[in-house]
Structure 1
Amino acid sequence: MLRLPSCSAIAVLLASLGAGAQTSSAPPQAANPETQVRQAYPAEPARIPLTAPDGTTTTLGAVAPRVLLVAPFTSRFGDLAELKLAPHLLQALQGQKDVAFIALNVDRPGSPEDWSVLREVLQERGVDPRLYSDARLAFFAWVNGPPEPGQREMLRLPSLAIVLDGQRLHGVYGLDPSATPETYVAERLAQVREALKAAGVTSAPAKAARKRAPKTAP
C-alpha cells in the first residue's frame, strides 16, 4: 500500500526506491538508489516503458503526440502543486490535437490497491489525467541527464517535462510556489508555444485570456 508521509525531500524518495532493491548479498554500490536511477538512463527515449493502471505496458513514443507534457510525481510529496493547477492548463489546451498531458508516478505501484491510492491522490486535487507509472525509472533518469563518471549532482524530480515527438527532451521546469492559476497557465502556455515551434508545428494554443472584472449592476 502506498503511503503519504508529509515529506518533500527527494532523498526520502530515493531511500524508498532503494529499500526494496537491497539484498544481503548485493555489493554496497548496488544498493545506492542514485546509482540505480542513473543506470536506468535510456538508450532510446522513445522506448521508455510506461505502465498503465491496468498493468499493460506502452512506451513514451507510443503515447506522445508532437508535444507531450509530463508531470512526474510521487505520492510521498504532500502538495503536488503542478497537478493541482493542471486542470486550468488542460482547459486552455482543449482542441489542441498536437499537445497531450500525462501524470507519471515514480513510486512504482504494483497492486490495484496502489493504483487506487494514486487515483485518490489526484482526484483530491481535482485532476484525472492519463496516468502511468515510470516502473523502471527510465524517465526519471532521462530528465536528469546521462550518467557521468564521478557524478555527484543530486537527482531532481521536475514539476513538468516537455517531450517532443516522443523522443526529444525540450525542457524541464519547476513551479513558482506563489503561482496563481492565471500566472501558471500563462507561463505554461508560453512554454508549450515554444515547444510547438521547436517541433515544427505551425498552430499554437491561444494566449491565456485575461481575467475580466465582473460586471456591476447599473
Structure 2
Amino acid sequence: MPRETLTKDQIIRTAVDLLDDEGLEGLNMRSLGKRLGTVATAVYWHVKNKDDLVLLAGDRVWQEIELPDLAAVDWRTAATRMATGLHAMLARHPWLVQAFGSYVFYGPGKSRYDDHSLAVYEAGGFAGAEADRAAGAVFTFVLGNAMGTAAMASLTRRLGRGGGNPGELLRDVMAKATEIAMPFPRLRSRLIAPGEYGEAPEGTFEHGLQALLDGLEARLAARRVATGRSTTPAEN
C-alpha cells in the first residue's frame, strides 16, 4: 500500500489487531507493514515510532467503552457500568494492562472516559479530591482484576513462541504450581475442588466491585449524618 493511500486511522486499527494477536512483544513496524501490505518505512510517515503507536492504539480502545447517561441512571449504576465496561475492554485487549507498566496513556479517548468517571462520582456527592480518590480506587481495582487475564495471555504467547503445544506447556506450568501449593492446607482444600490453581471463584470481580462501591456509599452516608444532611446533591 503506497504511503499516499495509507491513513493514520488504518495504521491504528491494524496496530490494535496486531497487539490483540501478538501482544506488546509482537508489535514492530515490519510486522505492521506486512499486515498493511506496505513497507515499514511507509508507516513512519504517519507515526513517529513504536511508542507513539502504542499510545495511539491504547487511546483508540478506550473509545470502545460506553458512557452511561447520568440523567437516566443513578450514580452507583453508572459507576458499575463504567467499571464493567472498562474490565471488558481490558479483557479484549490484555496488552493494554501490560503497557500500563511502561507507558503513561493520554489522549481524547482516555480523557473522555476519565472526565465522565469524575462526573459519575460528583453526581453521587463526592467533590474535588474526594471524586478523584473514588474514581481512582475503582480504576485501580478494575486494572488489578484484569492483570490475571493479561498475564495468562502473555504466558500463552510466550510458551507458543518457544515451540511445542502452548496448551500442553501451560498445563505443565499449572501442574507444577499446583504441586508446590498442595502442602498449604487452605490452598489444598481449594485445589481439590474443580478448577485450576490461582483461578478466582466465579463472580469475584462483581463481588469486589460492589463491596468497593458499598464502602464509598457508606462514606457518603456517614458524611451526610455528620453534617445533618439527608440527601446527596444529586437527590436535591
Give the structure-2-normalised TM-score.
Answer: 0.29
Identify which of structures 1 and 2 has the higher relative contact order when contacts are C-alpha pairs closer than 8 Å and 6+ apart.
Answer: 1
Higher strand share: 1
Higher helix share: 2
